[in-house]
Amino acid sequence: MSSSSRLSTVLLGVFSNPNPNQHSTPIVPTHQHQHTNERNISLVQEKKKKQKAFSRREAIGLGFSLALLDALAQANSTAIAAEEAQCTLTIAPSGLAFCDRVVGTGAEATKGQLIKAHYVGMLENGKVFDSSYSRGKPLTFRVGVGEVIKGWDQGILGGEGVPPMLAGGKRTLKLPPQLGYGLRGAGCKGGSCIIPPDSVLLFDVEFIGKA
């Protein structure tokens, strides 16, 4: 037998038999070898099925978790929108309109005190012209001494029918032009103004407390 034939015979699991009158003796009986291969293939297939099933369960679990988080976020947004919709503005004799969305539990500010407040400023059409939240830093100023527009001093300190804000509170203010930037407007350049003259302004103010 040539060397190539002998190699093929060994690879097939059969010893070369020098006596041609005797049958070759396989290393492993053919039917047993076949059953072993079938069992191994079956085990591999079963393992793959289990891995796919586990991956599918993981995907379903992740999908459920994401759906739950999305539902909670939507519910929270709905609750906030409902809260804002129920916030009815009260108009003070000065013309300042206010509405407490959250009543604070801390101390009220005193005239001349250095305080911190977050805010979002909007035109009457809802266009945002400024926001301390987007800058990531609250505004620090002395309240009641003219460092900010009149509507802010009155809206935070109170007076003329407006109750003072308490630290931790959130209030919506609607300022008529005379309590805002009046006829001059603000941020004007080249005939264009960020806040046009004679504008009614809306502010969502969060009184953090003293600085």
Higher pLDDT, 7 or 125: 125
Please say if 133 is a catalytic residue. no
Give the mean pLDDT of 44-56.
Answer: 58
Q: Indicate which residue of 119, 153, 195, 207 is catalytic.
A: 119
Report the alpha-carbon angle 194-198-200, nearest 5.
80
Q: How confident is the model at residue 11 (pLDDT cuts 50, 70, 90)?
A: very low
The catalytic residue among 115, 141, 156, 181 is: 181
Catalytic residue check, 100: no
Catalytic residue among 129, 194, 198, 208: 129
Round to whole Å and give the CA distance between 3 and 164: 104
Look at 76 and 74; give whichever has higher pLDDT: 74
Output the 3-class SS for the chain.
Answer: CCHHHHHHHHHCCECCCCCCCCCCCECCCHHHHHHHHHHHHHHHHHHHHHHHHHHHHHHHHHHHHHHHHHHHHHHHHHHHHHHHHCCCCEECCCCCEEEEEECCCCCECCCCCEEEEEEEEEECCCCEEEEHHHHCCCEEEECCCCCCCHHHHHHHHCECCECCCECCCEEEEEECHHHCCCCCCEEEECCEEEECCCCCEEEEEEEEEEC
Which is catalytic among the residues 115, 153, 156, 203?
Answer: 203
Judged against a pLDDT cut of 80, whether residue 79 lies above it is answered with no
| pLDDT tens-digit readout, 14-36 | 333 334 444 333 333 444 445 54
181 among known catalytic residues: yes
pLDDT at position 147 is 97
Rg, Å, the chain Cα set: 40
Q: Average of pLDDT values for 97-104?
A: 97
Check if 119 is active-site: yes
Strand partners, 102: 170
**pLDDT interval class at 143 (50, 70, 90):** very high
* Cα distance between residue 205 and residue 90, in whole Å: 16
**pLDDT above 70 (res 2):** no
Quick count: other Cβ atoms within 10 Å of Cβ 188?
Answer: 14
Q: In this model, does residue 78 exceed pLDDT 90?
A: no
Residues 102-124: what's their mean pLDDT? 97
Query: What average pLDDT score do residues 74-78 get?
Result: 46
Mean pLDDT of all residues belonging to the chain = 76
Residue 87's pLDDT band, with cuts at 50, 70 and 90, is confident
Q: Residue 181's closest CA among 142, 130, 117?
A: 130
Residue 35 or residue 195, greater confidence: 195
pTM of this structure: 0.61
Q: Is 130 a catalytic residue?
A: yes
78-105: average pLDDT: 82
Say how far residue 81 (Cα) sits from the centre of its chain.
17
8 A C-beta contact, residue 165 and residue 104: yes
Q: pLDDT higher for 209 or 22?
A: 209
* C-beta separation of 151 from 87 below 8 A: no
Residue 52's pLDDT is 58
Give the pLDDT band of residue 60 (cuts 50, 70, 90).
Answer: very low
- Among 18-32, 141-155, 178-192, the least confident range: 18-32
Question: Half-sphere exposure of 162 toward its Cβ, with a 13 Å CA cutoff?
Answer: 31
